[in-house]
Chain A
């Protein structure tokens, strides 16, 4: 298996791709921060998938006699104002966080990719108009824009996701355009065009795949920002609505108790920091591996 992966002369496209991925993984494993980041992200995914197995309680319902208990053996992170186990709620909250970052990435990355690739590929006026539009969005304050969108669409987790995605795509469009420009006049593109491929086919099958690695880096680095924005919207009561155990909303509930029952607001915040840091570390490591040009910088 190892030989097959490390082969210098791959026999099929699958083998070449797998080999490249394997080498990148080996490089990544040599970067301690990236490993830590990867483990944290893995932990988030496992927690989200296996939430019912990990969480001691369901995280919903009330248990008023046990309200606002400090952290103890029974309740690692204490209980909240309705007697719910905070640890269980943080565990279930992983699902919501993963859902938000996943959906934002799935919506905004392809949108940015297509806008950027089309602009870079066609050039001229198409480029000017699309990039002008992108730049306008880029020079807006993201959080404020997301707030205004949610205000208009109405609070709720779906609208929060849409609002964040709307503010996230322009950065990806810029990257995709820059990448596309570097190989727009490459011979393989010219050759494909000579074979009679349509513009759509060239962009989709030949241009976009080459933009993906820088896109993955950027999306990973952006994840922390997305999580913070989502949590911020939740904190303001505009994101996920109670009783959903969204971390930002949980901090907001604990705000009233911060002076006496500090754990109610503090614990979900630690989860946010851990996961955001994980994505930062992983993104930094991925950049060092996949994008050697800027390795070592920042």
Chain B
């Protein structure tokens, strides 16, 4: 290890070095993800060649197809050509929709993004205050209630909650609209600009569509938000307990600072940075969790696309969707990690 002169250890240089190291790790992680999807694509028990030529083909025909598909090349060569394809946005063609997988994914992704974003907003808006209150009143009944609520977030199956929610709030009480993203009647009325229905309908100024879409999204997004809430509240409580036990908090109290200010300004101020990481992680988790919710709510997003493809043995679509969800997951993970490093005052 080369010893650095004190001068080169200035903050920007160190930050740049750590970011560079980060970029390397991120690229390696992406390659790892590609290796995994490539591997999964290869261990499929169905012979991809046989699927193309049919089982009546002669040996020569079979061999010719195998060469044409590039399956006779060494594994490593196949892997690199796969990586090259992916970087050019070439994910193959979906057997069930007949369109290129990349095009399909671009079409369905906004629906998932919209639901997960509203979910995380709900999760943060409720989870953070709940965690803070639980920590401020540690041991009280309200702390216990929040604790049990948070643990429920770890033990309730998302698809079950979705079904029960539908039965209760849609069929039973009629408070919200049913499965799907919008009523058939309103479908395709607004021009897709961002693909986010709520935003698009506002751009078009069509409030009827907006309210209908909001009616449809509120239940699945709330259920998704509940799982974010559970994790965020639990972590916030734990961070806050750490801070409230510190001496600077005691000092502030001794000085006569009001308790509300001690909690929300002094203690909460110092947990904002780690909270960003937690929120980032749970946002990524919601994109993943939406697979189950989307299946239950027939939500035309990437999760639904993935599960539909699973049943049609549409491997290109499955791997493409896995790749996109995995990539988004990694990006959010890494970005929140970088944010942490940049914002943490200790790295100054």
Question: Which residue of B has the minimal Cβ distance to A132?
Answer: B28
Give the chain A neighbours of B43 by CB distance below 8 A.
152-153
Whether A148 lies near B322 (C-beta < 8 A) is yes
Q: Is B29 in contact with A139, judged by CB distance below 8 angstroms?
A: yes
Residues of A within 8 A of B16 (CB): none
Contacts of B237 in A (CB 8 A): 298
Contact partners of B152 in chain A: CB under 8 A: 273, 277
Task: Tell me if A269 and B164 are in contact (CB < 8 A).
Answer: yes
Within 8 A of A (CB), among B19-54: 25, 28-29, 32-33, 36-37, 40-41, 43-45
- Residues on B with C-beta less than 8 A from A132 are 28
Is A83 positioned at the interface, with any CB of B under 8 Å from its CB? no
Q: Which residue of B lies closest to A228 (CB)?
A: B157
**CB pair A144 B288 closer than 8 Å:** yes
Do A140 and B329 form a contact, CB below 8 Å, given A149-B40, A236-B307, A273-B152? yes
Q: In the assembled complex, which residues on chain A have CB atoms less than 8 Å from the CB atom of B295? A: 235-236
Shortest B321–chain A CB gap in Å is 8
B325 at the interface (CB under 8 A from A): yes
Counting chain B CB atoms within 10 Å of each CB, which of A152, A153, A254 scores highest?
A152
Q: Is A248 an interface residue (CB 8 A)?
A: yes
Whether B183 sits at the interface, judged by CB under 8 Å, is no
Set of chain A residues within 8 Å of B284, measured between Cβ atoms: 141
Chain B contact residues (Cβ within 8 angstroms of A): what range? 35 or more
Q: A276 in the interface, Cβ–Cβ < 8 Å?
A: yes
Nearest CB in chain B: distance from A285 CB, A: 12
Contact A144 B306, CB 8 Å, known A139-B29, A152-B43, A297-B241: yes
From 193 to 243 in chain A, residues with beta carbon under 8 angstroms from any chain B beta carbon are 224-225, 228, 231-232, 235-238
Q: Which residues of A contact B238 (CB under 8 A)?
A: 297-298
Scoring A residues 266 to 297 as 1 if CB is less than 8 Å from chain B, else 0, what string do you get?
10010011001101110010000000000011
Instruction: Look across to chain B and name the residue whose beta carbon is closest to the beta carbon of A269.
Output: B160
Q: Are A258 and B167 also in contact (CB < 8 A) when A136-B28, A225-B154, A298-B235 are?
A: yes
- Whether B171 and A259, one on each chain, are in contact in the complex, defined by CB atoms closer than 8 angstroms, is yes
Is the Cβ of A281 less than 8 Å from the Cβ of B32?
no
Nearest B residue to A296, CB-CB? B241
Among residues of A, the one whose C-beta sits closest to the C-beta of B321 is A144
B163→A255 contact, CB < 8 A: yes
Decide if the interface of chain A is mainly helix, strand, loop or mixed. Answer: helix
B310: Cβ under 8 A from any A Cβ: yes
- The answer to whether B157 touches A269, judged by C-beta atoms less than 8 angstroms apart, is yes
CB contacts (< 8 Å) of B25 on chain A: these are 135
Task: Indicate if the CB atoms of A148 and B157 lie closer than 8 Å.
Answer: no
State whether A231 touches B157 (Cβ < 8 A): yes
Q: How far is the CA of A280 from the CA of B231 in the complex (A)?
A: 13
In the assembled complex, how far is the CB of residue B170 from the closest CB belonging to chain A, in whole angstroms? 8
- Closest CB of chain B to A214's CB: distance in Å? 18
B292 within 8 A of A: yes
Measured between beta carbons, the chain B residues less than 8 angstroms from A135 are: 25, 29
B322 touches A145 (CB 8 A): yes
The chain A residue with its CB closest to the CB of B164 is A266
Taking CB atoms, residues of chain A closer than 8 Å to B166 are 258-259
Per the bound structure, the CA–CA distance linking A62 and B234 in Å amounts to: 45
Name the contact of A143 in the complex, choosing from B155, B288, B315 (C-beta under 8 A): B288
Interface flag for B184 (CB, 8 Å): no
Task: Give the residues from 224 to 243 in chain B that come closer than 8 angstroms, CB to CB, to chain A.
Answer: 234-235, 237-238, 241-242
Partner of B154, one of A139, A147, A224: A224
Confirm or deny: B195 has a beta carbon within 8 angstroms of a beta carbon on chain A.
Answer: no
Which residues of A have CB within 8 Å of B291?
143-144, 147
Q: Is B87 an interface residue (CB 8 A)?
A: no
In chain B, positions 282-302 with a C-beta closer than 8 Å to chain A are 284-285, 287-289, 291-292, 295-296
Residues in A whose Cβ lies below 8 Å from that of B41: 152
Interface residue B151 (Cβ < 8 Å from any Cβ of A): yes
Known: A136-B33, A140-B33, A147-B306. A273 touches B155 (CB 8 A): yes
What are the residues of chain A within 8 A of B333 when measuring CB–CB? 139
A21 within 8 A of partner (CB) = no
Q: Is A154 on the interface with B (CB-CB < 8 A)?
A: yes
A148-B37 CB under 8 A given contacts A258-B166, A259-B167: yes
- Asked if A168 CB lies within 8 Å of chain B CBs, one says no
A151 at the interface (CB under 8 A from B): yes
Check B151 against A272 for contact (C-beta < 8 Å). no
**Which chain B residue has the least Cβ–Cβ distance from A148?**
B322
Contact partner, A265, options B160, B285, B319, Cβ 8 Å = B160
Question: In the assembled complex, how far is the CB of residue A281 from the closest CB belonging to chain B, in whole angstroms?
Answer: 7
Is B163 a contact of A265 with CB atoms below 8 Å?
yes
Kindly state whether residue B223 has any CB partner on chain A within 8 Å.
Answer: no
Are A262 and B167 neighbours in the complex by a CB distance under 8 Å?
yes
B4: CB under 8 A from chain A? no
Which of the listed residues A132, A144, A254, A297 has the most CB atoms from chain B within 10 Å of its own CB?
A: A144
Contact (A144, B310) CB under 8 Å given A136-B28, A280-B154, A298-B235: no
Binding site for B on A (CB under 8 A): 132-133, 135-137, 139-145, 147-149, 151-154, 224-225, 228, 231-232, 235-238, 248, 251, 254-255, 258-259, 262, 265-266, 269, 272-273, 276-277, 279-281, 284, 296-298
Q: List 28 A-B contacts (CB under 8 A).
A: A136-B28, A137-B32, A140-B330, A143-B288, A143-B292, A144-B291, A144-B326, A145-B36, A147-B307, A147-B322, A148-B322, A151-B40, A152-B44, A153-B45, A154-B45, A228-B157, A228-B158, A238-B310, A248-B159, A251-B163, A255-B163, A258-B166, A262-B167, A265-B163, A269-B163, A279-B155, A281-B151, A298-B235
Beyond contacts A139-B333, A266-B164, A272-B156: 12 other A-B pairs, Cβ-Cβ < 8 A, are A136-B28, A139-B329, A139-B330, A141-B326, A148-B318, A153-B45, A154-B45, A228-B157, A262-B164, A266-B163, A273-B157, A298-B238
| Interchain residue pairs A-B with the least CB separation, the first 5 | A276-B155, A136-B32, A269-B160, A298-B238, A141-B288
